[in-house]
Amino acid sequence: MDYLLRGTEVLHATVRRYTSPDEHPFFKDLPAPILPAEAYDYPIKKTDININNHIKEIYINKILSAMCVEGDDGQYGSSALCDVAALQALSKRIHYGKFVAESKFLSDKEAYISLIKAKDKAAIREKITNKSVEERLIKRVVLKAAAYGKEIDHTALDQENQKQKISPQLVADIYEKWLIPLTKDVEVDYLFVRGC
């Protein structure tokens, strides 16, 4: 899987994927873009925060084991392609925390500045947490997983009895246990590094 992930990133680096503020590579020694640099409007502070190693470890050891059934179907190539797509999506989703944190910072500068000056990570984490937003997100994830995990067919618009490809509750659990906390890690790290 690392072979495919690195190969994909090498290719994507050459079309300047990782010069975009919302993309973070898993590998470091990637080639330079062959396209000319894009003059991005960089809406957040530039940092080198990149928790992809941690994301990969959690993906392999926690998320995959929660989602997959035991056994070996021999489909190593296509499984690894799915892993690459999933890891890149997770990385993008979690590192969006930087944008979220910047927005939260701007909406309440004074309070954040005093917490950052006090180097109080726990208090920053507490301040960025909005339980009701998280609960709404989880509900939305359940709905999305239920909708996308079924076949949409005009003969079965009432799909109560259709088999789900994946348990919507399991997807919600993965958000609750891993995606939301990892995003918060990025938010806290970003605010800490951001300074005032």
Q: Report the interface residues with a copy of itself, using CB under 8 A.
A: 3-4, 7-8, 11-12, 14-17, 20, 33-35, 38, 74, 76-78, 80-81, 136, 139-140, 143-144, 147-148, 152-155
Residue whose structure tokens are 């898993």: 26
DSSP 69: P
Q: How far is the C-alpha of 61 from the C-alpha of 163, rounded, in Å?
A: 27
Instruction: Retrieve residue 71's tokens.
Output: 């056994």
Q: Smallest distance, Å, CB 111 to a copy of itself?
A: 28
Question: By C-beta, is 2 or 108 nearer to a copy of itself?
Answer: 2
Smallest gap from Cβ 15 to a copy of itself, in A, equals 3
| Three-state secondary structure call for residue 78 | helix
Look at residues 51, 177, 178, 191 and name the one whose alpha carbon lies nearest to residue 125: 191
Q: Which is nearer to a copy of itself, 147 or 196 (CB)?
A: 147
Smaller CB separation from a copy of itself, 11 or 196: 11
- Closest CB to a copy of itself among residues 108, 151: 151
Taking the complex as a whole, the smallest distance from the CB of residue 153 to a copy of itself amounts, in Å, to 6
Contact 13, 32 (CB under 8 A): yes
Structure tokens at 189: 């790290």
**Smallest gap, in angstroms, from Cβ of residue 47 to a copy of itself?**
22
For 71, left (φ over 0), alpha (ψ -120 to 50), or beta?
Answer: left
- Is residue 125 within 8 A of residue 97, CB to CB? The reply is no
Choice between 122 and 157, CB closer to a copy of itself = 157
Q: Could you tell me the smallest distance in angstroms from the CB atom of residue 96 to a copy of itself? A: 16
